[in-house]
């Protein structure tokens, strides 16, 4: 089948393109900008890419056009598809109906932690000898690819964002998993959801698709998820938390979460020593172990696997580390994620200075929906640089007032980097936080710091 993919350089759609190609289809793709690393990955797969959304690549009438959710009516490629009555679908629907059918699907949902938890779970399955397939919104360092066909098991990062311009349900309703993780639930994606209740409804739609003999692993301490579950649950339900009243419990043996102890139904099942840090990663590990157990993998085997877990690119990823400085790249998009990441780093580095460069790039952050939460989320930092611009219509001085002057607003990345260079002291930890490219700022600073 000839398949043309619109929006092919996004992480999810790029993964769909790779899976379709490996399934034997003749795949081409287009995006507004074809950019590395995804463009390189796709071209290495033999997938021809087109820059921009011209109708020309579809003149030979592909059998199917898969439309990414970044495209909307008015886009010339979309209008051509509709006017020519070409066969089209969405990435999540194609994945669910053509790729996941017949597989043992494990879906990882939640406002935070989806990518890391999916990566942990895929690695546990790999370590246990199951050769899992996966589609993850990041690159697990244990695999160095974001998508793989695998065998029976398939781990999918289950995003609550909408499916396509013609399907406003969340992506995850198309996956129909046997095992589902519900990590947490907060308000996000203000561009498509009017309020938290709307997101809760989508999460309950996901729950309705899980079979009665399937399993839901849910964060018992999350009141929003508990409200979703109260609408009706027809599957095996297990809860996890730091609290021992739930099925699965994780306990911090060290404050930075580099050593953890796990219990199932109050019985100790093992201790994990690893290179990750932070309470959020402790919770991610707990739910990954629980989901692996639901898939038949002994918890002791899962713990052993996580001791060798290398992390995920752009999740507090160390770009360079020397005797004097450490530079990190982190995919931050929500105040809760920012706070947990920085608190985890603070417990790990003690009194060393933490400098943060933050780019509020998501639609929700730029709109100022979380502006009041941003200052408190950054309290673990010693100094913050906030990249602003014309699309930021909230006052950074008000939002970051809790930092008591420990911040600067800048409009240009070059200016930000120069100010950081002037501010550096030996022993500093510098964290760049953005869910975009940030003009390669982390690597540019790393190159400046690395000896020639």
- Decide if pLDDT at 338 tops 80: yes
Q: Span 100-306: which CATH code?
A: 3.40.1190.10
> Structural domain boundaries of the chain?
2-89, 100-306, 317-449
Question: Is there a shared CATH topology between the 100-306 domain and the 317-449 domain?
Answer: no
Say how far residue 316 (Cα) sits from the centre of its chain. Answer: 12
pLDDT for res 393: 79
Segment 312-329 shows an average pLDDT of 87
In this predicted model, what pLDDT tens digit does every residue of 46-63 receive, in sequence order? 999 999 999 999 999 999
In the predicted model, what is the mean pLDDT of residues 187-194?
82
What per-residue confidence (pLDDT) applies to 451? 61
Taking the domain 317-449, which CATH number applies? Answer: 3.90.190.20
Residues making up the chain, counted from first to last: 452
Q: Of 161 and 191, which is predicted with more confidence? A: 161
How remote is the C-alpha of 159 from its chain's centroid? 8
Q: Which fold has domain 2-89?
A: Rossmann fold (3.40.50)
Please check the confidence at residue 391 and state whether its pLDDT lies above 80.
Answer: no
Provide the pLDDT for residue 135. Answer: 94
Average of pLDDT values for 217-235?
A: 97
pLDDT of residue 400: 87
Give the count of beta carbons closer than 10 Å to the beta carbon of residue 239.
23
**Span 329-334, mean pLDDT?**
84
% of the chain residues with pLDDT over 90: 68
Nearest to 306 by CA among 269, 341, 332, 345: 269
| The pLDDT value given to residue 17 | 94
With bands split at pLDDT 50, 70 and 90, how would you rate the model's confidence at 452? very low
- Least confident range from 42-56, 164-178, 359-373: namely 359-373
Mean pLDDT in residue range 216-225:
97
- Over 70: is that where the pLDDT of 313 sits? yes
pLDDT at 307: 97
Centre a 10 Å sphere on the Cβ of residue 176 and count the other Cβ atoms it contains: 18
């Amino acid at each position: 089948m000839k398949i043309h993919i619109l929006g092919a350089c996004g992480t999810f759609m790029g993964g769909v393109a790779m899976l379709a190609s490996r399934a034997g289809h003749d795949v081409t793709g287009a995006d507004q900008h074809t950019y590395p690393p995804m463009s390189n990955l796709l071209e290495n797969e033999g997938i021809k890419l087109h820059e921009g959304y011209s109708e020309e690549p579809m003149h030979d009438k592909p059998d199917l056009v898969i439309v990414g959710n970044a495209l909307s009516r008015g886009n010339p490629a979309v209008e051509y598809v509709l006017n020519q009555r070409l066969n089209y679908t969405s990435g999540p629907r194609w994945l669910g109906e053509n790729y996941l059918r017949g597989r043992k699907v494990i879906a990882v949902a939640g406002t935070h932690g989806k990518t890391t938890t999916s990566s942990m779970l895929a690695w546990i399955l790999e370590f246990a000898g199951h050769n899992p397939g996966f589609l993850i919104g990041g690159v697990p360092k244990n695999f160095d690819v974001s998508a793989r066909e695998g065998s029976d098991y398939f781990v999918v990062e289950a995003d609550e964002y909408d499916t396509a311009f013609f399907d406003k349900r969340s992506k995850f309703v198309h996956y129909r998993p046997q095992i589902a993780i519900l990590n947490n639930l907060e308000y996000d994606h203000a561009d498509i959801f009017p309020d938290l209740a709307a997101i809760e409804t989508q999460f309950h739609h996901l729950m309705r698709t899980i079979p009665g003999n399937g399993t839901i692993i849910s964060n018992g301490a999350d009141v929003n998820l508990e409200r979703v579950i109260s609408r009706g649950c027809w599957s095996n339900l297990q809860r996890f938390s730091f609290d021992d009243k739930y099925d699965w419990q994780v306990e911090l043996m060290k404050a930075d979460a580099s050593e953890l102890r796990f219990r199932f139904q109050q019985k100790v099942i093992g201790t994990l020593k690893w290179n990750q840090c932070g309470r959020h990663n402790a919770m991610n590990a707990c739910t990954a172990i629980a989901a692996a157990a639901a898939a038949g993998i002994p918890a002791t085997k899962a713990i052993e696997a996580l001791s060798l877990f290398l992390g995920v690119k752009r999740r507090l990823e160390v770009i360079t580390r020397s005797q004097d400085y450490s530079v990190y790249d982190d995919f931050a998009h929500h105040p809760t994620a920012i706070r947990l990441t920085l608190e985890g780093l603070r417990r790990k580095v003690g009194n060393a200075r933490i400098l943060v460069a933050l780019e509020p790039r998501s639609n929700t952050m730029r709109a100022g929906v979380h502006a009041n939460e941003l200052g408190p989320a950054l309290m673990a930092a010693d100094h913050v640089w906030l990249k602003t611009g014309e699309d930021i219509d909230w006052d950074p001085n008000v939002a970051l007032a809790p930092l008591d002057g420990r911040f600067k607003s800048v409009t240009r990345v070059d200016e930000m980097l120069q100010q950081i260079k002037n501010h550096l002291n030996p022993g500093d930890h510098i964290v760049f936080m953005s869910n975009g490219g940030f003009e390669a700022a982390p690597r540019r600073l790393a190159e400046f710091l690395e000896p020639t």
